[in-house]
Chains A and B, each alone.
Chain A
């Protein structure tokens, strides 16, 4: 499916910092083709001779995550084996990102929801613009996070807060995200990528 559609991911190099762009505006939505492409691209990253990687969305949003209805139909329907495989690939891809031998930062503006947030959680740091909103809304659709959200969130925000966010599915704004440790810094929206890059440049090589 991934090959039938234009690339929805881009890898840019700017000196010693690489950028991984979720490039399916406006919402940079993820479907299982995206997951597969992501896993394939991220598999090429460990050997990249860079000091760090910024992950961000094209346009206003980071990512709205998966199309829940499509995902639900896929995992329960005739293509469930394929969907399950794609989900495992996504989780493995996020873990490869987590394990990269150089630091990673998610630069988050706008929506960062569901698997979009799970991707951001796999980065070492998260910087956010004031318009960023975060949620793992899967439980409100009869599902649960399936790409690391339930495993990675407690370590960042504490067990109780994680349980509360996972079961309520509620939206956290940028200020609260900073207060609870979900993001590491709030930055001016116009300087989001610059701030992410600077953060990586401050890490000793």
Chain B
């Protein structure tokens, strides 16, 4: 899938998933790792908006193509590679916000769940339709939904395959806000600017590294690293 990246003068960059009309993932390894790393770590960047080109966020994998790909014995490696890309987004050095219009399904929803925030347009539709095709979500959904929605919500969505609209997604904790499509992006920019506008790049990255460490490091190690980051920021290093 093509990734269109625009750095922001205010430090808020935009990454557009560009495979319209539905921004489907043609293969699990949907981007070059180095390209994605460059986008996430862009110099001076303090936050990143992720969105889809056109009416939809992303409908995830193309089921027809996926059936063919599944015949390939090496396909698991491809899926592992795709998951690594999502893990990179989940570990982004800056806060990430998925701006969701239209369909946000399957792998598309898994990607949105990797982000720190999800702002939904009233048109947004969330779900894991994989079970309807006799499959299960294969891109880390159970992991990425943890801490975003309650476990009962995760089980409900993963097993029923039902779609939820923006308002229900908000009630379930999946969408942080719901707004008309016309004001969605401005609302997200205002929100992110309120978080990072007055902070230095070093502050933002130190806070985000420490928040991410809370999940990936043993507690005592994460705590020690936090103090180191604090001292670096305080000393202006």
Contacts of A143 in B (CB 8 A): 203, 230, 233-234
Contacts of B95 in A (CB 8 A): 163, 167
Q: Does B50 contact A (CB under 8 A)?
A: no
Q: Which single residue of chain B is at the shortest CB-CB distance from A76?
A: B235
Interface stretch (choices B33-41, B178-186, B191-199): B191-199
A144 to B231, CA, bound (A): 9
Q: Once the chains bind, are B203 and A154 in contact (CB under 8 Å)? A: no
Residues 192-214 of B, flagged 1 when their CB comes within 8 A of A and 0 if not, give 00111011100110111011011
Contacts of B227 in A (CB 8 A): 84, 87-88, 91, 146-147
Q: Once the chains bind, are A76 and B234 in contact (CB under 8 Å)? A: yes
Contacts of A149 in B (CB 8 A): 226
Q: Once the chains bind, are B195 and A144 in contact (CB under 8 Å)? A: no
Q: Once the chains bind, are A166 and B207 in contact (CB under 8 Å)? A: yes
Residues 135-176 of B, flagged 1 when their CB comes within 8 A of A and 0 if not, give 000000000000110000000000000000000000001001
Q: Does B224 contact A (CB under 8 A)?
A: yes
Question: Interface size bucket, B side?
Answer: 35 or more
A69 to B95, CA, bound (A): 27
Q: Does B31 contact A (CB under 8 A)?
A: no
Q: Which single residue of chain A is at the shortest CB-CB distance from B208?
A: A163
Count of CB-CB pairs between chains A and B under 8 Å: 107
Q: Does B61 contact A (CB under 8 A)?
A: no
Q: Which A156-171 residues have a C-beta within 8 angstroms of B?
A: 158-160, 162-164, 166-168
Q: Once the chains bind, are A144 and B203 in contact (CB under 8 Å)? A: yes
Contacts of B235 in A (CB 8 A): 75-76, 80
With A75-B231, A143-B234, A166-B211 as known contacts, state yes or no: A151 contacts B226, CB within 8 Å.
yes
Interface stretch (choices B15-23, B70-78, B102-110, B215-223): B215-223
A142 to B194, CA, bound (A): 15
Of the candidates A76, A95, A139, A150, the one whose C-beta lies within 8 Å of that of B199 is A139
Of the candidates B148, B206, B234, the one whose C-beta lies within 8 Å of that of A160 is B148
- Provide the main secondary structure of the chain B interface: helix
With A87-B230, A142-B200, A167-B95 as known contacts, state yes or no: A154 contacts B207, CB within 8 Å.
no
Question: Interface size bucket, A side?
Answer: 20 to 34
Q: Does B116 contact A (CB under 8 A)?
A: yes
Query: Whole-angstrom distance from the CB of A20 to the nearest CB of chain B?
Result: 20
Q: Which A163-205 residues have a C-beta within 8 angstroms of B?
A: 163-164, 166-168
A140 to B235, CA, bound (A): 16
Q: Once the chains bind, are B211 and A154 in contact (CB under 8 Å)? A: yes
Of the candidates B195, B219, B222, B231, the one whose C-beta lies within 8 Å of that of A146 is B231
Q: Which single residue of chain A is at the shortest CB-CB distance from B229?
A: A144
Q: Does A82 contact B (CB under 8 A)?
A: no
Contacts of A160 in B (CB 8 A): 116-117, 148, 176
Q: Once the chains bind, are A87 and B229 in contact (CB under 8 Å)? A: no
Q: Once the chains bind, are B234 and A163 in contact (CB under 8 Å)? A: no
A156 to B233, CA, bound (A): 25
Query: Whole-angstrom distance from the CB of B123 to the nearest CB of chain A?
Result: 21
Q: Which single residue of chain B is at the shortest CB-CB distance from A92?
A: B223
Q: Does B134 contact A (CB under 8 A)?
A: no
A89 to B68, CA, bound (A): 58
Q: Once the chains bind, are A158 and B147 in contact (CB under 8 Å)? A: yes
Q: Once the chains bind, are A95 and B220 in contact (CB under 8 Å)? A: yes
Query: Whole-angstrom distance from the CB of B96 to the nearest CB of chain A?
Result: 9
A167 to B199, CA, bound (A): 8
Q: Does A33 contact B (CB under 8 A)?
A: no
The 4 A-B residue pairs whose C-beta atoms are closest, nearest first, are: A146-B230, A150-B210, A167-B195, A75-B234
Q: List 16 A-B contacts (CB under 8 A).
A: A80-B231, A80-B235, A87-B231, A95-B219, A95-B220, A143-B230, A144-B203, A144-B233, A146-B234, A147-B226, A154-B214, A159-B211, A160-B176, A162-B211, A163-B117, A168-B195
Chain A interface residues (CB < 8 Å from chain B): 71-72, 75-76, 80, 84, 87-88, 91, 95, 139-140, 142-152, 154-155, 158-160, 162-164, 166-168
